[in-house]
Amino acid sequence: MSALPQATPRSAAPSGDREFIFRNEDFRQIAAMLHADSGIFLSEQKESLVYSRLVKRLRALGLSSFKDYCALVADHSGVQERQNMLAALTTNVTRFFREPHHFEYLKETVLPPLLQAAKRGGRVRIWSAGCSKGQEPYSIAMTILSLMPDAVNYDVRVLATDIDPNVLQEGRDGVYDKSELEDMPKPERSRFFSPANGSASSFTVSDDMRRLVSFKELNLVGQWPVKGPFNVIFCRNVVIYFNEDTQSKIWERFSSLLVPQGLLCIGHSERLSGPALPRFKPTGTTMYVHGRGGTA
Ligand SMILES: C[S@@+](CC[C@H](N)C(=O)[O-])C[C@H]1O[C@@H](n2cnc3c(N)ncnc32)[C@H](O)[C@@H]1O
């Protein structure tokens, strides 16, 4: 039996073996809306990807063409669907201790003096910007707790932000499939995770991890409701989807929020650019120490 909506007749037959008509102008309209909302740039090569990610939304809504879908998300009555579109088009791939050298550097070099200062009443703030479902900020939390098991009793916090409220909710829930913990050393696994509701296949993060990490919605190309300053900013595998101008503005804004000697960690295929560049000194692969030097 066909799962296709029958209510609205099609104005034209879909081309090729596609279920819905997807015209170039539909793609361009969707790309323009996504760019305006999130800074994400979609090249023409992403046309098939956009089709395959949004086709489920058309089915769910009972629409018969991308033209109708574009009309919906462009209208103020389609605000919620526009959010769904963004969630469908963003890439949320992540994992615990991804790019492990960042966590090693954090543990061996950056955190020891910061946590000593916290014991004397200092403040430590780490920001995971574009945190997806929480694996990155929780990896930071585990790194902190492995050095300072009572960190929650001090002024040490991890801010985890993302544009997508769905992934933030998953982060807050803090429940992960067993397969996601497989690469983690056993001692960490049993120390920081416990079976979720007695399940053998999903695990929940420890209370201390939850208390260290706060999840908040934040669009990197919008207003940033954060005070800072931050000792460390992780912004990894996020700006790769933005154009260079947008990236440069984000580096500039990070620069204004990082303490002198603060650390910026970026993704393996990203690079710094723009006026803030001279203020960041490389310290290992995709890690930069923020200084006052350089010309703005
Ligand atoms: C590929 S994930 C990276 C997750 C994590 N940082 C890592 O490296 O494993 C990219 C995340 O960036 C988020 N994102 C995309 N555009 C954004 C924006 N304008 N503001 C904030 N987050 C954004 C997406 O929702 C997604 O969760």
For residue 211, what pLDDT is reported?
A: 98
Pocket test residue of 37, 82, 90 for ligand 1, highest count of atoms within 8 A of CB: 90
Atom of ligand 1 nearest to the CA of 133: 27
For residue 256, what pLDDT is reported?
A: 96
Mean pLDDT over 149-170 rounds to 98
Question: Band of the pLDDT at 196, cuts 50, 70, 90?
Answer: very high
For residue 198, what pLDDT is reported?
A: 80
Mean pLDDT over 71-77 rounds to 96
Domains, in order of start, for the chain = 24-89 (1.10.155.10), 100-290 (3.40.50.150)
| 11 alpha carbon – ligand 1 mean position (Å) | 37
Place of tokens 């929020």: 257
Residue 1 has pLDDT above 80, yes or no: no
For residue 292, what pLDDT is reported?
A: 62
Amino acid at 217: E
Residue 285 has pLDDT above 50, yes or no: yes
Pocket test residue of 41, 132, 135 for ligand 1, highest count of atoms within 8 A of CB: 132
CA distance 186 to 176: 16
| 88 alpha carbon – ligand 1 mean position (Å) | 13
- Ligand 1 is surrounded, with C-beta below 6 A, by 38-40, 90-94, 98, 130-132, 136, 162-164, 167, 219-221, 236-238, 267
Amino acid at 147: L
Residue 248 has pLDDT above 50, yes or no: yes
Neighbours of 100 (CB within 10 A): 11
Write the secondary structure of the chain as one string of H (helix), E (strand) and C (coil). CCCCCCCCCCCCCCCCCCCCECCHHHHHHHHHHHHHHHCECCCHHHHHHHHHHHHHHHHHHCCCEHHHHHHHHHCHHHHHHHHHHHHHHCCCCCCCCCCHHHHHHHHHHHHHHHHHHHHCCCCEEEEEECCCCCHHHHHHHHHHHHHCCCHHHCCEEEEEEECCHHHHHHHHHCEEEHHHHCCCCHHHHHHHEEEHHHCCCEEEECHHHHHHEEEEECCCCCCCCCCCCEEEEEECCCHHHECHHHHHHHHHHHHHHEEEEEEEEECCCCCCCCCCHHHEEECCCCEEEECCCCCC
| 7 alpha carbon – ligand 1 mean position (Å) | 37
Q: What is the pTM of this model?
A: 0.93
Mean pLDDT over 275-286 rounds to 96
Residue 4 has pLDDT above 90, yes or no: no
Residue 110 has pLDDT above 70, yes or no: yes
Residue 164 has pLDDT above 50, yes or no: yes
The catalytic residue positions are 53, 162
Pocket test residue of 86, 93, 163 for ligand 1, highest count of atoms within 8 A of CB: 163
Atom 9 of ligand 1 has which residue's CA nearest to it? 94
For residue 293, what pLDDT is reported?
A: 47
User: Are the CB atoms for 34 and 69 separated by under 8 Å?
Assistant: no
Question: Band of the pLDDT at 14, cuts 50, 70, 90?
Answer: low
Percentage of residues in the chain with pLDDT exceeding 90?
88
Mean pLDDT over 89-93 rounds to 96
Question: Band of the pLDDT at 15, cuts 50, 70, 90?
Answer: low
Atom 2 of ligand 1 has which residue's CA nearest to it? 92
Place of tokens 């793609």: 27
| 91 alpha carbon – ligand 1 mean position (Å) | 7
End-to-end CA distance of the chain: 63
Atom of ligand 1 nearest to the CA of 164: 25
